[in-house]
């Protein structure tokens, strides 16, 4: 791991170093933008015209789209921009009941009734960018920006694995302190870490877009999915909230960032929007055009789609004054439309949202992945008793329940909590993953591996309340599902469950 700036280095010297690094990188980025390899897929005028042309869909048109979306669950075909615009314009409560029901049905059909669990780990927050909505922006002196040392990073890993987490999304700012080498080295450290039965089996990344050779370095240590959220696909808004002269102000560099990741061999990539920066209807079409562009260029669409909402942040008034804030009711619509729009993608609902809303959106939106027991301050897991540390975190969380409390809620609602990471290690990524998801057969692996990873949690980490409901209700329920749908896997799953108890075997997967 690289040595960071010495503690006695002056702030002005650091700022000078940051500016020099930023200017060199910005010049290189602009040279890349001058000769792009890929087609620019966002056309603001075309998206707005599509929204305008489909602003008053008929009842029959919506019902036809719902029927088509159900059929698409078995083929992975995405809806068209006009169809997504029509859903976004629907105002009939009865039709929305059908849309919500369909979103849940599609998720069940493709992935089964399991929820994959992960934790965000904020590793380094210094950033040369100055995004108006972000608590970590360079001009915000009310939030302390810091980079974890190796010992601090190990303390975070220990706190996470000792409650049962196996899967992380590691989050980084953009600065010379947390460049691609630091990302590579800290991910490698995650995989090296062991504490009793605890280990990190998959480290996904949320970080700035990179050059192809930099992506290759990060890929070399075995990352999972690489997330680059566009924040907003509306260019005038993008330019307004990302000041000129910053790295993030370069729209084409960012919007084509995952194309470069695919070129580097990272075949699981993830897209997302920060809803609340601009009209959510426009942003939905931006996401769809991004997914279509990845499919067209590489034959592989996004592995996941995220839809975080703008949340309050210390010293960041823009976050509470945006005219495009998304209401709870519209947020439910956003999540459901994404599921109908792109049936094969993982759908990530984060702890930004309140527990009651998360419960409802799971049912209405077809969610497949959620974080739990989350802390978003850098170094926050080592101080789990502190739910909020506003002077060290990017925004305010809505759901601060412990992992075990969250899992108990999932069990009571009938879901299978899953810590599965088998797909990555069995080569079910990119082009090898898409046929399974698009033809709705990936759930066979999802349920079987989910049962095994949940059993690990029950043995090693669960409270007595979770252990009881897990052993008496959840595990038998999903073994029964396997008996009915994939009996060969059911027999093998039972054998692996016995090995866990008899031999203390771990990490058994299909």
Residue 1: what pLDDT?
55
Residue 6: what pLDDT?
43
Say whether pLDDT at 7 is over 50. no
Structure-token pair, residue 381: 């897991």
* More confidently predicted of 189 and 315: 189
User: CA of 392: how far to CAs of 23, 134, 147, 313, in Å?
Assistant: 27, 12, 11, 10
- Beta pairing class for 194-195 and 198-199: antiparallel
Residue 4: what pLDDT?
44
Q: pLDDT for 394-431, tens place per residue? A: 788 999 999 999 999 999 999 999 999 988 888 888 88
pLDDT level of residue 8 (50, 70, 90 thresholds): very low
When the pLDDT of each residue in the chain is averaged and rounded to a whole number, the result is 94
Residue 361: what pLDDT?
98
Q: pLDDT for 370-395, tens place per residue? A: 999 999 989 999 886 666 776 777 78
Phi-psi label, residue 214: left if phi above 0, alpha if psi -120 to 50, beta otherwise = alpha
Instruction: Return d(Cα 172, Cα 127) in angstroms, integer.
Output: 9
Predicted structure pTM score? 0.95
Q: pLDDT for 74-127, tens place per residue? A: 999 999 999 999 999 999 999 999 999 999 999 999 999 999 999 999 999 999
Instruction: Return d(Cα 240, Cα 377) in angstroms, integer.
Output: 27
Instruction: Return d(Cα 487, Cα 475) in angstroms, integer.
Output: 15
Q: Which domains does the chain have, with CATH numbers?
A: 11-37+113-401 (3.20.20.70), 45-106 (no CATH), 428-503 (no CATH)
Percent of the chain with pLDDT over 90: 86
Of 67-71, 291-295, 396-400, give the lowest mean pLDDT range: 396-400
Say whether pLDDT at 63 is over 90. yes
Instruction: Return d(Cα 133, Cα 451) in angstroms, integer.
Output: 40
Say whether pLDDT at 183 is over 70. yes
Residue 17: what pLDDT?
86
Rg (CA), the chain: 22
């Amino acid at each position: 791991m690289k040595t960071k700036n010495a503690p006695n280095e002056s702030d002005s010297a650091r700022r000078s170093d940051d500016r020099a690094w930023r200017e060199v990188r910005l010049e290189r980025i602009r040279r890349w933008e001058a000769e792009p390899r890929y087609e620019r897929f966002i056309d603001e005028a075309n998206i707005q015209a599509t929204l305008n042309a489909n602003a008053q869909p008929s009842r029959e048109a919506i019902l036809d789209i719902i029927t088509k979306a159900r059929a698409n669950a078995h083929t992975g075909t995405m809806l068209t921009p006009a169809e997504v615009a029509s859903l976004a314009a629907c105002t009939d409560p009865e039709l929305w009941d059908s849309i919500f029901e369909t979103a849940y049905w599609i998720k069940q059909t493709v992935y089964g009734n399991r929820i994959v669990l992960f934790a965000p780990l904020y590793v380094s927050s210094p950033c040369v960018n100055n995004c108006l909505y972000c608590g970590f922006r360079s001009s915000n002196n009310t939030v302390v920006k810091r980079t974890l040392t190796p010992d601090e990073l190990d303390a975070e890993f220990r706190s996470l694995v000792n409650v049962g987490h196996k899967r992380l999304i590691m989050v980084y700012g953009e600065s010379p302190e947390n460049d691609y080498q630091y990302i590579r080295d800290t991910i490698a450290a995650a995989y090296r870490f062991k504490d009793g039965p605890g280990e990190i089996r998959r480290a996904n990344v949320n970080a700035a877009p990179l050059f192809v050779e930099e992506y290759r370095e990060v890929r070399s240590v075995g990352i999972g999915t690489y997330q680059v959220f566009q924040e907003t696909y509306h260019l005038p808004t993008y330019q307004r909230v990302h000041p000129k002269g910053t790295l993030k102000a370069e729209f084409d560099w960012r919007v084509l960032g995952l194309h470069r990741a695919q070129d580097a061999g990272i075949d699981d990539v993830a897209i997302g929007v920060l809803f609340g920066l601009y009209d959510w209807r426009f942003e939905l079409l931006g996401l769809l055009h991004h997914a279509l562009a990845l499919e067209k260029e590489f034959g592989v669409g996004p592995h996941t789609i995220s839809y975080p909402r703008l949340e309050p942040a210390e010293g960041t008034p823009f976050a509470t004054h945006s005219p495009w804030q998304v209401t709870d009711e519209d947020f439910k619509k956003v999540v459901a439309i994404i599921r109908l729009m792109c049936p094969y993608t993982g759908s990530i609902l984060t702890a930004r949202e309140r527990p009651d809303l998360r419960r409802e959106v799971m049912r209405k939106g077809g969610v497949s992945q959620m974080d739990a027991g989350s802390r978003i301050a850098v170094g926050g897991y080592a101080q789990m008793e502190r739910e909020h540390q506003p002077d060290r975190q990017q925004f305010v969380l809505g759901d601060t329940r412990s992992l075990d409390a969250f899992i108990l809620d999932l069990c009571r609602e009938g879901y299978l909590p899953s810590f599965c990471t088998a797909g990555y290690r069995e080569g079910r990524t990119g082009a090898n993953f898409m046929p399974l998801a698009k033809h709705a057969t990936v759930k066979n692996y999802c349920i079987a591996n989910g049962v095994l990873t949940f059993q690990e949690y029950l043995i090693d980490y669960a409270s007595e309340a979770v252990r009881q409901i897990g052993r008496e209700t959840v595990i038998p329920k999903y073994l029964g599902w396997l008996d009915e749908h994939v009996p060969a896997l059911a027999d093998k799953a039972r054998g692996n469950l016995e090995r866990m108890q008899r031999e203390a075997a771990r990490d058994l997967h299909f």
